[in-house]
Amino acid sequence: MPATQIKDPVHGYVELEQPLVDNVLDHRAFQRLRHVRQLSATYLVYPGANHTRFEHSLGVYHLARTVFENLREQSYFYRDATTAELDDIQRTLECAALLHDVGHPPFSHLGERFIDTDDLQQRLADRGLHDAFADAGVGDAPIREASAHELLGCLIVLKEFADGLREMGVDPHDVCAHILGYSLEYERGGRWQHGVAAQILHSPIDVDRLDYITRDNQMTGADVLSFDTDRMVGSYTAHPEEGLALSDKALSTIGNYLEGRIAVYMWVTQHHKSVYAHVLLSELLDELAALADEPPVTADAVLDDEIDDNTLMERLRVAASEHPDSTLAALYDRFRARRFPETCWKHRIAYADRVDADLDAFSDWLVAHADRLEADLAAELGVPDHEVWVEQSYVPEYEPQDLEDIPIAYGGTTRSVGDWGLYGERAFDRPIPFVYVPHGVETEATGTLVDWFHAKQYEQA
């Protein structure tokens, strides 16, 4: 049976064999991802940022499949494994790549904070995931340390997709392990290629990052990223002891990739208006929870009611209409009309220019005392409390962490790009907090905060 082709704006045609279409892609739980935006409220800053977890999942699948098929052409990779064994490894990887984000709730990271992770861990234990990890000698640390959307994703895999996966000869527990960064087959003593497959999906050079960085840059139109994706995909290699790495073929593009990760984070996710849009949406969800006296997002609501971004936006609209004098109504009107306040600084250059203090120490002080600073600064400025917000980026996972650990293979050894000196002396930009105040009082607000900082206000709190 011919493969199904889906045209993706980032990678071109994505091909899926019919069993994947029947058992994964066309499942209602996967189709729900069409209605969960990848970047939540970033479309209020970049109008083109309407891409969803659905497209991203297809992109991750495409890249994972391409990387693994390229590895299969390398003699070192295939010489100690049969074609059938590599087919099994690839099939598990492909399923995990498609399903790695299936647990994202409405508004992604903003919505998952309402989900009860202890409850999810118990449900996963009831479905044998803890035992599967224990039998593989891993223990339950990966489950305990997983994020809410990863845990919910594992539960959805075991509840909704298990039969279809087994029909394809894929272990649902191992798909969950891949989502959490492990291969149960490898941990049980299986071939080293199992471990490499898990790294393709979850490592410093995983295809998850590669897709969302490329996709977020292209779909927003930010155009701050310029590197040869095809060359990087073609540079993946692997070794039994060293695992997944990039060959020296990537040297011509890895610098652009590293800079691009920083740029996408700093100018898309960390854009001052993007940060505010997500803070506003987060506050709206808190207000909705208070009015309804229940969390707006739960695991059961995702599993049984298939809630998505549209579901919660409609609930917010109805709540604002029914409670016109509420804080929720005021915030909802601000969100819908995009009436955003000013920030005291818009980027790191302005931050350094306007804040007469050690920036790192000042940032730590702002974040540590955000709630008190908001109330006190509002009183000092003579404005309502909800007009002053101290905030950072809503997605800390986007921060450029551990970049120096990206492995480069050359001459039979693997070393990090930091060891190869590819960074020079560059110090990667640290995210900065933003202070939002009504228009016209930005200078006064900045001066007040700096004075309080030098006066060691709250130091003993």
Question: Which of 181, 175, 180, 195 has its CA nearest to residue 149?
Answer: 180
Domains observed in the chain: 4-217+237-246 (1.10.3210.10)
Q: Which of 2-11, 256-265, 373-382 has the lowest mean pLDDT?
A: 256-265
> Of 400 and 212, which is predicted with more confidence?
212
**pLDDT classification of 2: cutoffs 50, 70, 90:** confident
CB 393 within 8 A of CB 453: no
Residue 398: what pLDDT?
53
Residue 353 has a CB neighbour count (10 Å cut-off) of 10
Position 415 confidence tier, pLDDT thresholds 50, 70, 90: confident
d(CA 11, CA 5): 12
Mean pLDDT of 284-296: 96
In the prediction, which pLDDT does 1 show?
63
Q: Which of 152, 122, 393, 139 is nearest to 265 (CA)?
A: 393
Instruction: Give 52's DSSP letter.
Output: B
Summarised one tens digit per residue, pLDDT across range 305-351 is 999 999 999 999 999 999 999 999 999 999 999 999 989 999 888 99
The reported pLDDT for the residue numbered 424 is 53
Length of the chain: 461
83-122 confidence digits (pLDDT tens): 999 999 999 999 999 999 999 999 999 999 999 999 999 9
pLDDT > 70? residue 429: no
pLDDT of residue 138: 95
Which among 145, 133, 156, 144 has a CA at the least distance from the CA of 36? 156
Whether the per-residue pLDDT at 397 is higher than 60: the answer is: no
Sorted by sequence, the CB contacts under 8 Å of residue 155 that are 6+ apart come out as 103, 120, 123, 124, 127, 299, 303
pLDDT recorded at residue 394: 65
The mean pLDDT value of the chain amounts to 92
- Predicted confidence (pLDDT) at residue 202 exceeds the cutoff of 70: yes
Of 100, 166, 159, give the one whose Cα is nearest residue 128. Answer: 159
* Token code pair at residue 143: 């489950």
pLDDT value, residue 388: 94
